[in-house]
Amino acid sequence: MKFEIPPLPYAKDALEPTMSALTLEIHHGKHHQGYLDKLRELVEGTRREDFSLEELLLTSDGEVFNNASQAWNHAFFWQSMRPQGGGRPAGRLLEALERDFGSFARFRTEFAEVATAHFGSGWAWLVRGSAGQLRVSSTSNADNPLRHRTVPLLTLDVWEHAYYLDHRNERARYVDGFLDQLVNWEFASANLEFMAARPPRSGARGRRGSTARRR
Ligand code: FE
């Protein structure tokens, strides 16, 4: 069946204490599942029912876009974390972060500031721009960097449903926990390596078989 939810790549309690089993149960089982259920309802029986999530988020607006993009973003978010994550990346990704931010510490500060300061619901991202430079950005609600000709390498959900049970209103504490304990740098590195192997401005629409598309 189309639009199946991808299973979490770890046990529900594997990200504690930064992200509790209860948060993951609701976030994955209710929020993420809910976007897919709604999307199926919206596109079943239409010409778009065979589109991938990426095709839907790039070509739709309104409710179809919101639900397709949220489903894509959540699948990408689960992979952006791992048990005993955090720390620093290695290899080409570390070199690129040092080149484009000055140091890994400055990248970390900027990511934490952008994620914490983003107003309202949305997502913080590490992205690769069309000229190959890395930068931090945030998007509101369901929006996704692929709509802005940038390629996501890593994301953090900053909707309140992602952290309120565990951290109440303290988003900064959640962001620090993500950066220190959960970030899956291997996932971000794999996304960068995949893009580096392609010519510049090849376009997100042509991307096939990336880690992000596995679902
Ligand atoms: Fe979420």
Q: pLDDT exceeding 90 applies to what percent of the chain?
A: 88
CATH code of 148's domain? 3.55.40.20
Q: Are residues 198 and 95 in the same domain?
A: yes
Residue 1 inside a domain? The answer is: no
Q: Are residues 45 and 135 in the same domain?
A: no
Residue 67 CA to ligand 1 center (angstroms) comes to 11
Q: In this predicted structure, what is the pLDDT of residue 201?
A: 47
Residue 197 inside a domain? The answer is: yes
Q: Are residues 73 and 161 in the same domain?
A: no
User: Averaged over 88-109, what is the pLDDT?
Assistant: 98
Q: Are residues 25 and 75 in the same domain?
A: yes
Could you tell me if 139 and 57 are in contact, meaning their C-beta atoms sit under 8 angstroms apart? Answer: no
Residue 197 CA to ligand 1 center (angstroms) comes to 31
Report the mean per-residue pLDDT for the chain.
Answer: 92
Residue 27 CA to ligand 1 center (angstroms) comes to 6
Residue 165 CA to ligand 1 center (angstroms) comes to 13
Q: Are residues 73 and 112 in the same domain?
A: no
Residue 97 CA to ligand 1 center (angstroms) comes to 26
Q: Count Cβ atoms below 10 Å from residue 84 Cβ, excluding itself.
A: 9
Residue 160 CA to ligand 1 center (angstroms) comes to 8
Residue 213 inside a domain? The answer is: no
Could you tell me if 157 and 76 are in contact, meaning their C-beta atoms sit under 8 angstroms apart? Answer: no
* Distance, CA of 72 to CA of 52 (rounded, Å): 10
Domain residues for 70?
Answer: 18-79
Q: pLDDT exceeding 70 applies to what percent of the chain?
A: 91
Q: Are residues 118 and 97 in the same domain?
A: yes
Number of compact structural domains in the chain: 2
Residue 143 CA to ligand 1 center (angstroms) comes to 12
Residue 56 CA to ligand 1 center (angstroms) comes to 19
Residue 159 CA to ligand 1 center (angstroms) comes to 6
Residue 48 CA to ligand 1 center (angstroms) comes to 24
Residue 84 inside a domain? The answer is: no
* Distance, CA of 200 to CA of 19 (rounded, Å): 36
Q: Are residues 99 and 73 in the same domain?
A: no
Q: Are residues 69 and 29 in the same domain?
A: yes
CATH code of 46's domain? 1.10.287.990
- Which band of pLDDT confidence, cut at 50, 70 and 90, is reported for residue 214? very low
Q: Are residues 25 and 69 in the same domain?
A: yes
Residue 22 inside a domain? The answer is: yes
Residue 105 CA to ligand 1 center (angstroms) comes to 27
Residue 26 inside a domain? The answer is: yes
- Which band of pLDDT confidence, cut at 50, 70 and 90, is reported for residue 207? very low
131-144 confidence digits (pLDDT tens) = 999 999 999 999 99
pLDDT at 205 over 70: no
